């Protein structure tokens, strides 16, 4: 598997055991980092009131919580702020910044936002300095340079040559924390007080890296691997409470972050209180954290209902557009909730393997989000559309972006995306399974499953190995679970003998489910993942089905 993934004997050790000692760069390879660290250290030395201006997604909540926690440990009064998605939109805005300055903030740190907000930040030019810690693609002519922006630390700014463009904003904030503590040590700040333990913040970095779909290779791999170890210690009350409310009892994995914690933290920013996720991550104890976690869990269930009400119509519109020859799906509806459109865009992208943008329309303005496929930079296309005058606002990164525009501009915007991302028309209608190996049923041992697990954490850029079991027969199969959406089967090879448990989740009615449940002796090729499972102290091997083909 290492060889298939292009890893040689020299790079294998750091891949299998990724450490920050081996992979963490000097933070000051990032442009403006030295200026940012110096200004934050100055605020700590003087005990200044600092505002931390975040975003309403997981990366925004995590980066705001990380920086707020650091500054409080350094003795600064902190004003954490997350804008209301519906009332204020994304990024810094003049009224909010003015209120923060009115409350005494002399430094504003923008996390996961601010790169293209020079106009809004000018509202406090004579009242507070600004440091931006971001990773979104830069619209060159809108980047800072004018007061009050002291530093813009962003690996994706046009003049940054750090090579760290795949880091999320929380990772950038973590590097800024390292650089700041280094400055403070040089100034003797910790001569009479302990320095903050930054390793404790790696749970936030891991959570944001996975949920912002950053590639899990290189430094990101080390950040997530070490962050998962910190999370397993359950030292952050908010994360512990959210794991409990979600009934996630296993040791945290990247899948736990992406499918259990992430959607719940995101839910507040989508259809509820935008700052709820950040407040949960900053909760001081279990008493404070539990009601916040329960509220996020409830809001997430509401989000699922809102999403379901939009999904069918959006899918039908997207299918019709792509059948008509569009390279990109762009669908919009007058009653669609702007906080959920990004999830729906992701569903369309997954189903059709094409870039997809979804917008809700209100008062003649369409506000939406888009998701892309590997190799097609949606963020760059959105920025170009903004520069051309088609969009009122827009920005993002390669795989995800947000935008707003007059409803009347939707057809022109669609044509612009079709031209800019025309290569999408050459994509297959579904993503091919990248199969990395074949096994016989007797070869599916616990030992092999545990060896494959050493390739984790799995996610973007480092998928879990996709294996094929050729010519198996389903001995028994049944629907199980509360909603009967899981199929549990027992399979064997053509020669009989060894049997293996196999499971398929989200097994809605369809040809795949029918083939598994038929139990008519027809041989199948199964594709999926081999995993070691522990239950009541016993460890067994199980096969998790992704697809099947008739022989």
Report the distance separating Cα 424 and Cα 536, nearest Å. 48
Which candidate, 88, 398, 40, 383, places its Cα nearest to that of 214? Answer: 398
Whether residues 154 and 58 share a domain: the answer is: yes
* Angle between the N-to-C axes of helices 218-232 and 169-186, in degrees from 0 to 180, rounded to the nearest 10: 80
Which candidate, 2, 70, 32, 259, places its Cα nearest to that of 151? Answer: 32
What pLDDT does residue 255 have?
A: 93
Domain assignment of residue 217, yes or no: no
* Angle between the N-to-C axes of helices 262-271 and 237-245, in degrees from 0 to 180, rounded to the nearest 10: 90
Q: Which residue has the tokens 């009967």?
A: 484
CA distances, 327 to each of 128, 161, 357, 406 (Å): 45, 32, 12, 22
Q: Which residue has the tokens 């975003």?
A: 55
For the chain (551 residues), the mean pLDDT of every run of 10, in chain order, is 91 93 96 97 98 95 98 98 86 95 98 91 94 84 63 93 96 98 98 96 98 93 97 97 94 94 91 91 97 96 90 95 96 90 94 96 94 92 94 88 95 97 91 89 96 94 95 93 89 87 89 88 94 89 94 88
Domain assignment of residue 243, yes or no: no
Whether residues 33 and 155 share a domain: the answer is: yes
Count of CB atoms within 10 A of residue 199's CB? 12
Report the distance separating Cα 108 and Cα 125, nearest Å. 11
Whether residues 44 and 139 share a domain: the answer is: yes
Structural domain boundaries, residue 130: 13-198
Number of domains making up the chain:
3
Whether residues 159 and 75 share a domain: the answer is: yes
Q: Considering 426, 450, 471, which residue would you say is the last residue of a domain?
A: 426
Domain assignment of residue 539, yes or no: yes
238 and 280 Cβ atoms separated by less than 8 Å? yes
What pLDDT does residue 496 have?
A: 77
Domain assignment of residue 315, yes or no: no
Give the sheet arrangement for strand 129-133, strand by strand.
Answer: 78-81, 50-53, 107-111, 129-133, 149-153
- Residue 353 maps to which CATH number? 3.10.310.30
Which candidate, 526, 453, 452, places its Cα nearest to that of 489? Answer: 526
SS3 of 392, please? coil
Q: What single DSSP character describes residue 104?
A: T
Which residues in 203-343 belong to E strands, given as ranges? 329-333
- Residue 500 maps to which CATH number? 2.40.50.460
Whether residues 21 and 144 share a domain: the answer is: yes
> Would you give the distance in Å from CA 305 to the centre of its chain?
21
Whether residues 406 and 518 share a domain: the answer is: no
223 and 171 Cβ atoms separated by less than 8 Å? yes
Domain assignment of residue 295, yes or no: no
What pLDDT does residue 490 have?
A: 94
What pLDDT does residue 140 have?
A: 53
Q: Which residue has the tokens 């908010």?
A: 238
In the numeric block, which tokens belong to residue 141?
């002519």
Whether residues 367 and 491 share a domain: the answer is: no
Q: What is the DSSP string of 327-362?
A: SSEEEEETT--TTTHHHHHHHHHHHHSS-EEEEEEE
Binning the chain into helix, strand and coil, the percentages to the nearest 5 are: 45, 20, 35
Q: What single DSSP character describes residue 445?
A: -
Indicate the length of the chain as a whole number: 551
Whether residues 412 and 458 share a domain: the answer is: no
- Residue 86 maps to which CATH number? 3.90.1640.30
Which candidate, 214, 188, 247, places its Cα nearest to that of 62? Answer: 214
> Would you give the distance in Å from CA 422 to the centre of its chain?
26
Whether residues 91 and 144 share a domain: the answer is: yes
Q: Considering 426, 443, 478, which residue would you say is the last residue of a domain?
A: 426
Radius of gyration of the chain (CA): 24
Q: Considering 198, 225, 259, which residue would you say is the last residue of a domain?
A: 198
What pLDDT does residue 536 have?
A: 82
What pLDDT does residue 338 have?
A: 84
Whether residues 50 and 190 share a domain: the answer is: yes
Domain assignment of residue 300, yes or no: no
What pLDDT does residue 248 have?
A: 92
CA distances, 489 to each of 224, 264, 503, 508, 519 (Å): 33, 31, 6, 15, 10
What pLDDT does residue 229 have?
A: 97
Domain assignment of residue 284, yes or no: no
Whether residues 87 and 27 share a domain: the answer is: yes
Whether residues 473 and 411 share a domain: the answer is: no
Domain assignment of residue 508, yes or no: yes
Within 13 Å of residue 423, how many CA atoms lie on the same side as its CB? 9
Q: Is the peptide bond before 148 cis (omega within 30 degrees of 0)?
A: yes
């Amino acid at each position: 598997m290492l060889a298939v993934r292009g890893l040689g004997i020299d790079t294998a050790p750091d891949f299998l055991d990724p450490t920050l000692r081996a992979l963490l760069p000097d933070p000051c390879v990032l442009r403006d980092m030295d200026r940012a660290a110096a200004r934050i250290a100055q605020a700590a030395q003087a005990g200044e009131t600092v505002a931390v201006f975040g975003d309403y997604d997981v990366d925004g909540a995590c980066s705001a919580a990380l920086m707020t926690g650091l500054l409080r440990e350094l003795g600064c009064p902190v004003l954490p702020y997350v804008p209301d998605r519906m009332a204020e939109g994304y990024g810094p805005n003049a009224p909010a910044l003015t209120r923060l300055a009115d409350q005494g903030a002399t430094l504003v740190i923008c996390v996961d936002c601010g790169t293209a907000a020079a106009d809004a930040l000018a509202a406090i030019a004579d009242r507070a300095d600004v440091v931006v810690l971001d990773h979104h693609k830069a619209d060159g002519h809108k980047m800072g340079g004018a007061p009050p922006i002291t530093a813009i630390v962003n690996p994706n700014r046009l003049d940054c040559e750090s090579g760290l463009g795949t880091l999320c904003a929380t990772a950038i904030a973590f590097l800024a924390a390292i650089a700041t503590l280094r400055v403070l040590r040089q100034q003797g700040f910790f001569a009479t007080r302990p320095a903050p333990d930054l390793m404790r913040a790696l749970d936030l970095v891991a959570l944001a890296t996975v949920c912002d779909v950053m590639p899990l290779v290189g430094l990101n791999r080390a950040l997530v691997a070490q962050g998962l170890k910190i999370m397993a210690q359950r030292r952050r009350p908010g994360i512990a409470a959210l794991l409990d409310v979600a009934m996630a009892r296993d040791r945290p994995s990247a899948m736990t972050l992406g499918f259990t914690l992430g959607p719940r933290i995101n839910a507040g920013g989508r259809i509820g209180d935008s700052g709820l996720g950040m407040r949960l991550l900053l909760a001081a104890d279990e008493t404070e954290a539990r009601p916040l976690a329960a509220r996020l869990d409830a809001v997430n269930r509401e989000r699922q209902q809102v999403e379901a009400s939009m999904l069918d119509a959006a899918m039908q519109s997207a299918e019709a557009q792509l059948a008509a020859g569009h390279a990109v799906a762009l669908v919009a509806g007058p009653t669609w909730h702007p906080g959920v459109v990004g999830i729906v865009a992701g569903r369309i992208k997954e189903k059709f393997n094409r870039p997809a943008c979804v917008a809700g329309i209100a008062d003649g303005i369409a506000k939406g989000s888009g998701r892309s496929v590997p190799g097609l930079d949606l963020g760059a296309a959105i920025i170009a559309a903004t520069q051309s005058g088609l969009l009122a606002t827009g920005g993002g990164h390669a795989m995800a972006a947000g935008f707003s525009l007059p409803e009347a501009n939707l057809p022109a915007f669609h044509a612009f995306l079709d031209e800019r991302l025309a290569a999408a028309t050459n994509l297959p209608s579904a993503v091919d399974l990248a199969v990395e190996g074949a096994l016989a049923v007797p070869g599916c041992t616990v030992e092999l499953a545990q060896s494959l697990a050493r390739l984790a954490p799995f996610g973007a850029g480092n998928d879990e190995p996709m294996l094929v079991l050729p010519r198996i027969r389903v001995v028994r199969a049944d629907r199980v679970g509360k909603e009967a959406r899981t199929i549990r089967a027992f399979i064997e090879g053509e020669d009989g003998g060894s049997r293996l448990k196999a499971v398929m989740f989200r097994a809605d009615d369809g040809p795949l489910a029918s083939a598994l449940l038929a139990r008519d002796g027809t041989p199948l090729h199964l594709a999926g993942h081999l995993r070691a499972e522990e239950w009541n102290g016993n460890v067994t091997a199980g096969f998790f089905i992704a697809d099947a083909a008739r022989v």
